[in-house]
Amino acid sequence: MADRTREIRKHLMIMVALILAIDAIALAVFFGLGIGSASRSTRTAFTGAWTVVTLAAVLNGLYRIRLARNARGAAPRSRS
């Protein structure tokens, strides 16, 4: 049980660190390239791309956490 908890926590911390890295890179690009003063369509495209990349990272992280929770030998959860 402790090994499974440790693995879940590891995947959670990786996911959080990845999201922080994505946000840091996106903000650096946003301010570095002056996207804030760009056209509305450019800002919208940038925000959309940032959202899609973040969503992909979160879904991947949650998938890995689910795999760790449902590892072989894990006790099934009761549905009450």
Whole-model pTM? Answer: 0.81
Q: Please tell me whether residue 9 adopts helix, strand or coil conformation.
A: helix
Backbone angles phi, psi at 39, to 5 degrees: -65, 160
**Using N-to-C axis directions, what is the helix angle for 2-32 and 40-69, rounded to 10°?**
170
For residue range 24-36, what is the model confidence (pLDDT) as tens digits?
Answer: 999 999 999 999 9
1 neighbors 69 (Cβ within 8 angstroms): no
In the chain, % of residues over pLDDT 70: 88
